[in-house]
Amino acid sequence: MAVVASELGWPSYQISPVERWRGDEHADQEDCIAEEVPIALLYNGEPHAVMLATPLDLEDFALGFSLTENIVASPCEVYSIRVYLRAEGIEVRMRIPEARCETAADKGRNLTGRTGCGLCGARTLQQAIRRPAPVGQGVQVSSDELTQVLAELTDHQRLNRITGAVHAAAWVVPGRGIQWVREDIGRHNALDKLIGALARRGADLGGGFVVVTSRASYEMVQKCASVGITFLAAISAPTGLAVRLAKDTGVTLIGFARGDKHVVYANPQRLLHNEA
């Protein structure tokens, strides 16, 4: 796969003057504000979707989106990714097999994908609620390692430290800690970026687990299961649909993972606890 990225010149955040108040006292200061930009995804020249996303790691985003939306079956089917700056936003143009492009046209979204929604613009219930195949055996994770990862994750969230407004998705390999982190104002975009980054590097997606700084909504489980990731931990709550999908596909789903506390919602066999 050839990746050609232009020099975008589109910052991931802006600096803006603000009034900062505490009680009756205020100060004129500057604040860093995360950007969200329309990202148009095109396959073989044909528009597919427009997503609102943070303009970082867009090649990873494009590949991850293509995989988790089942537009392509493997990274090798994305022949090239080219990123272009436009006046209204950013275009990401991909070349894929023509047969896949016809399938993508059937799945095309007719609305802009909102920042907080991974399903916006899907035109049918079948498009929105996909059921991936069951995942494999996957990894086993100790509760101590999960606690350690949660303690270290903040240090890997560069953009969030600046703006306080973006989610992170982290890839962890048991015994090796956090390997990759991707950030975006949309939780599903951050996960797509992470999956794309892993796919570009040929990572074993059954050999690690994902931690996200968000709730575990349905599409987060769907995206993990669709590429064979077997373990997802979120710092906030899951949804009922996410729990049902995790049980159906065999994904271990952890919610409220904060400090040394967590709740196991589905498939607890992969999380190992120290016996008292």
Catalytic residues, by residue number, are 117
Q: What is the DSSP string of the chain?
A: -EEEE------SEEEEEEEEEETTEEEEEEEEEE--EEEEEEETTEEEEEEEE-SSSHHHHHHHHHHHTTS-SSGGG--EEEEEE-SSSEEEEEE--HHHHHHHHHT--SSEE-TT-SSTT--SHHHHS--PPPP-S---EEHHHHHHHHHHHGGG-HHHHHHS--EEEEEEETTTEEEEEEEESSHHHHHHHHHHHHHHTT--TTSSEEEESS-B-HHHHHHHHHHT--EEEESSPBPHHHHHHHHHHT-EEEEEEETTEEEEEE-GGGEE----
